[in-house]
Amino acid sequence: MSKTNTNILRSLLLLSYVIIITLVIYGFGALYSYLNTGADRSKMLHTEVKQVDQYLPELQWAPLDNEGRPIDEQTLSKIENDYLDAWYVKYVAYKTNTKQGIDDYYTKSARANIFNIIAINTENKTTIEATTLEHHPSLEFFSEDGQLAVLTDHDVIEFKRIYKSEKLITEVTEKSSYKVTLLLEDGFWRIRHLVKIDSEPYAKEKGNPPIKISKITGINYYPQVNPWDMFGDSFDTKIITADFDIIRDSGLNSIRVFVPYDSFGKSSVDSTQLDQFLKLLDIAEAKNLKVMVTLFDFYGDYSVLDWTLTQRHAKVIVNALKDHKALSFWDIKNEPNLDFESRGEKLVTAWLDKMIDFVKSQDPNHAVTIGWSNAQSANILKDKLDFVSFHYYEALEELDATYRALKTKIPDKPVVISEYGVSSYSGLWNPFGNSEDDQAAYHKTIQSVFTKNDIPFMSWTLYDFDKIPKEVVGRLPWRQNAQKHFGFIDENGIQKPSFKFISKE
């Protein structure tokens, strides 16, 4: 007994010894690693600061004709970056009523003005979400020692959403001009003086009369093997060429294709994918098909401070594609009304409104539309669009009445149905679903409605798909399976009965 006790005691002693030594070593280790943190040279020198695009409003320098020292391009771009960052940090400050970042971009006496306004807004429970969309600066002066610059920023387009106690009370768009004095301090071009010299409410003047569109008989297109993911590594011109032959031969003249916002690189557009898109247009041109390009697919942020980035995205894409003969229309966004609930109708509409103006400013020669998900939303922004388009997945028998009602509201512009169709899925998850024959009957009937009312149409879609990304309809199997069977051609490449009615009754 006592021997056992001694052994227990011994092992306890041994164990405690091991534990103590472990703790001591751990303690020294922690102290050592603590003492080795902080003084990281790369951090001290700011060599690791990653350049992330946060704010990219349109900015156009006036031709350089400044007094003082001639400026070099590098300094000018440094001034431009810091000046835009100054706007950005200011708007972040007003959105959150915090002072983060202001110190870097405003001199001591200038930042006091911003802090005063933050104090007032905090007290009044006001927050302001704002962005600038355009700047037209002209450099007035650059000092001989390179430490002071004065510029006049003409016609700055500012958009503000003003909240009081977290409730949106108004939206303002202004066109203002500012005189700005900047000083080079601690490596930052900081704003020393900012004087608003001019301001007026801004509304884009009525643009050109709507662009006439030709007769559309079309289809929404994704390849069978990689729906919603046709660009990038899986881009295949052979498949696309073959598919376009099928579409052309079926008697259709248009396709609708999507540009996913995220995978195309957001504000820094991936040139490989853009080239692939141009190849797709080349093939379409060769096959005599017109392409409706739907921008901003899967974009869902809409926050005001993100607008300049979407603007940059649209600028690159629109300018790359606008001269292509195969391009027919711009569809700003697919079914943006589905984001009304989560992002707010006003915010989404404001974004669309500005984006229509922007796309038109970049490409005045192609008609612009928005692919609303239902006929009820099709009224929104109708005056700004060249033609109205909506998607129809409701009951077939109501289409005629719905379309006519809409047409009376929008008598002067074409109204296009840019998506419609029915799934031929009936199975475990929906035993009472439509058969392939039902689908054919649907298409036959709808074609008769189109013919009767002379409705331009684009169907959903060419193929049945094997897999649907969860971003499209979620993960629920009955939705996934239904979405897989909207095609005119099944997954084995065999034409379904509906194919007969793909372009005509």
Partner 1 sequence: MTLKYLYISILCILLISTTVALQISEASSYYKSLSKQSTFTAGDTIELKFLFSGNADVYLYCSNSYGSVVLNPIATNTKLSFSIPKSVSKKSGILNWQLISDKTEVTGQVNIKPKTSIKTIESYLGPPSIEAGGTDFTMLVIIPTDDLDNPLIDSTKVEIKRQFLVNQNTSDVFTEHGFGYRNIYSETKSGRILISSEVLELNSKEYDVNVVPAIPTNFEINAERIHDYADGNQITTFKTTVIKDRYCNNVSDGTFVTFFITNKDGYKSKTSGLTINGIAVAELLHPDHEEQWSIKAYVEGMANSNKIELDYKQAISDFDVVFSEDKRTINIGPLKSFMSQRAPDGLQVNLLIYKDGLLQEQFIESSFNGKTKFHLNTDRFPKGNYNLEIKVAGMTKTFSDMSYE
CB closer to partner 1, 69 vs 479: 69
Least distance in Å: CB of 306 to partner 1?
20
Least distance to partner 1, CB of residue 212, Å: 35
Q: Could you tell me the two tokens for 73?
A: 């391009």
> Given the complex with partner 1, which of 90 and 354 has the nearer CB atom?
90
Per DSSP, the three-state class of 28 is helix
Instruction: Report how far apart, in Å, the C-alpha atoms of 503 and of each of 217, 436, 453 are.
Output: 7, 17, 15
Find the shortest distance in angstroms from Cβ 196 to partner 1. 4
Minimum CB separation of residue 66 from partner 1 in Å reads: 10
Sign for the pseudo-dihedral over CA of 97, 102, 106, 110:
positive
Q: Provide the minimum distance between the beta carbon of 86 and partner 1 in the complex, in angstroms, as a whole number.
A: 11
Q: What is the largest CA-CA distance in the chain?
A: 105
Shortest Cβ distance from residue 378 to partner 1 (Å)? 27
- Structure token digits, residue 125: 């429970």
- Minimum CB distance to partner 1 smaller for 108 or for 404: 108
Q: What is the chain's length?
A: 505
Q: Which is nearer to partner 1, 117 or 396 (CB)?
A: 117
Distance CA 154, CA 175 (A): 9
Task: Rank residues 100 and 271 by Cβ distance to partner 1 and give the closer one.
Answer: 100
Least Å distance between CB 383 and partner 1?
19
Q: What is the dihedral of CA 202, 129, 132, 77, to 10 degrees?
A: 170
Tokens 């606008």 sit at which residue?
A: 322
Q: Pick the closer one to partner 1 by CB: 180 or 252.
A: 180
Instruction: Give how far Cα 274 sits from Cα of 121, 280, 325, Å.
Output: 44, 10, 16
Long-range contacts at 108-113 (CB < 8 A, ≥ 24 apart): 109/192, 110/190, 110/191, 110/192, 110/193, 110/194, 113/194
Q: Compute the C-alpha angle 264/370/233, nearest 5°.
A: 20
Q: Which is nearer to partner 1, 200 or 437 (CB)?
A: 200
Instruction: Compute the least distance from the CB of residue 155 to partner 1, in Å.
Output: 14
Shortest Å, Cβ 126 to partner 1? 4
Task: Name the residue nearer to partner 1 (CB basis): 118 or 458.
Answer: 118
- The contact set with partner 1 (CB under 8 A) reads 67-69, 90, 94, 109-110, 113-114, 116-121, 124, 126, 128, 130, 140-141, 143-145, 147-148, 150, 152, 160, 162, 164, 169-170, 172, 174, 176, 178-179, 181, 183, 192-201
Which lies closer to partner 1 via its Cβ, residue 111 or residue 256? Answer: 111
Q: Which is nearer to partner 1, 8 or 172 (CB)?
A: 172
Tokens describing residue 257: 């294709």
Distance CA 24, CA 216 (A): 78
> To the nearest whole angstrom, how small is the minimum distance from the Cβ of residue 174 to partner 1?
7
Nearer to partner 1, 194 or 473 (CB): 194
- Pairing state of beta strands 167-185 and 217-220? unpaired
Retrieve residue 322's tokens. Answer: 């606008």
Is the Cβ of residue 111 or residue 443 nearer to partner 1 in the bound state?
111
> Regarding beta strands 148-164 and 457-459, do their DSSP bridges make them parallel or antiparallel, or are they unpaired?
unpaired
Q: How far is CA 323 from CA 58, 258, 265, 449, in A?
A: 21, 18, 22, 35
Q: How far is the CB of 54 from partner 1 (least distance, A)?
A: 19
Per the CB < 8 A criterion, the answer to whether 312 and 261 are in contact is: no
Give the tokens for residue 42: 């790369």
State how far the Cα of 5 lies from the Cα of 417, in Å rounded to an integer: 88
**How far apart (Å, rounded) are the C-alpha atoms in residues 333 and 295?**
5
Residues 6+ apart with CB under 8 A from 224: 239, 462, 463, 464, 465, 466, 487, 489, 491, 493
Instruction: Give least dist CB 428 to partner 1, A.
Output: 53
